[in-house]
Amino acid sequence: MTHLVIQAPDLSSEAVEHLSRLAKAKKTMELAPGAVRLVEADGAPAVRAEVAAYCQQAGVDWAYVAPGARLADWKILAMDMDSTLINIECIDEIADMAGLKPQVAAITEAAMRGEIADFSESLTRRVALLQGLPLEALERVYAERLRLNPGAERLLEVARGLGLKTLLVSGGFTWFTGRLKHRLQLDEAHANELEVVDGRLTGKVVGAILDADGKAAHLREFAGRHGAPLSRAIAVGDGANDLKMLGLAGLSVAYHAKPVVREKTTHALNVCGLDGILNWFEDTLG
C-alpha cells in the first residue's frame, strides 16, 4: 500500500480528480492549500509512468510516499545553495557587477547541465573573470539580489524542530554560505573561499575547489559525526554538481532541477517551493 501526494501552486480540482482515477485511490485528503494526498494509490510501474506523464503536462508535483512516513525518522537535511536554497547563482550576479554576466552564466549553465565534466575547471575559468572586483560587489549581490527560495525557511524550521541536523554544502562561496548559516541557524556550511587582497578579488580560489566529490565527502563526514546512516539523510540539489551528494542520500530531491538531475533522484519538486517536501510526511502537517 502506498499514498500519492500531488501538489501545485494552483492545483485544480480537475487534476485531483483525474489523478485520483488514474491511481485508483481510495479517497483524497487535503493536506494544505494546493496539496492533496491520494490515499492507497496504485503504485505499479505502469501507473507511475502515467502519473508522471500527466503531472509533467499539467504542472503538478507528485511523489509516492509510504503510509505513516515521518520527517522525524530522518536525521540529516543537506542542501545545495545556488538555485536551491537561494534564487540566484551567486557567481553570475557577481559577474554582472563587472558587466560579465553573459560570459560567466554561459559557463555556469553548461556546468549545471553536465556538459562541462570538470567542475573545478569551470569554476576556475569563471572566478578568473572576477579579478579586480571590490568586495562591495559581493555585498550588493547579498543585499539586492539574493533571496531565499519559497518555503526554505519553513522547511528548515520544521526540520530543525524535529531534530534533523542541517548542512549547507555549495560549489559557491563561503562569503555567502557563512551569512546564510548564521541567518538560518544551520549546523554546518561549506563552500569555496574567494581570495581577497586589499579588498578586491584576485580571481583565484583559496585551497582545493569544493566540487561534486567534495560535496559528497562533506555529507558523508557530517552524517558520520552525527551518528546518522546516509540512508537517513535527505539531500536537495538542482545541478549536475550535486549528483554525487544526492546519490548518497536515502531521499534525494531534485529542486527545479536540470533534466540530468531529475532523472537520477528519488523525488522532484518542479513547481512547488521547498516546503513541498513537508507534505510527504505525516508529522509535519497542521
Would you place residue 114 in the very low, low, confident or very high pLDDT band (cuts 50, 70, 90)?
confident
CATH fold of 1-67: Alpha-Beta Plaits (3.30.70)
How confident is the model over 62-98, as pLDDT tens digits? 999 999 999 999 999 999 999 999 999 999 999 998 8
- Distance (Å, whole) CA 234 – CA 227: 15
Least confident of 65-69, 118-122, 219-223, 243-247: 118-122
Contact yes or no for 250/232 (Cβ under 8 A):
yes
Active-site hit among 42, 61, 82, 92: 82
pTM reported for the whole predicted model: 0.94
Domain ranges of the chain: 1-67, 70-286
Tell me what pLDDT residue 109 has.
82
How confident is the model over 236-286, as pLDDT tens digits? 999 989 999 999 999 999 999 989 899 999 999 999 999 999 999 999 986
Name the H helices within the chain: 13-22, 45-58, 90-96, 101-112, 119-128, 136-140, 152-161, 174-184, 212-225, 243-248, 259-262
Indicate if 82 belongs to the active site. Answer: yes
Quick check: 116 pLDDT over 80?
A: no
Tell me what pLDDT residue 76 has.
98
CATH fold of 70-286: Rossmann fold (3.40.50)
Domains 1-67 and 70-286 equal at CATH topology level: no
Which tops the pLDDT comparison, 115 or 224?
A: 224
How confident is the model over 192-216, as pLDDT tens digits? 999 999 999 999 999 999 999 999 9
How confident is the model over 134-171, as pLDDT tens digits? 999 999 999 999 999 999 999 999 999 999 999 999 99
Q: Which three cell numbers stand for residue 274?
A: 521547498
Active-site hit among 42, 61, 80, 242: 80
Looking at the chain, the whole-number percentage of residues with pLDDT higher than 90 is 88
- Distance (Å, whole) CA 22 – CA 55: 11
Tell me what pLDDT residue 286 has.
63
Quick check: 105 pLDDT over 90?
A: no
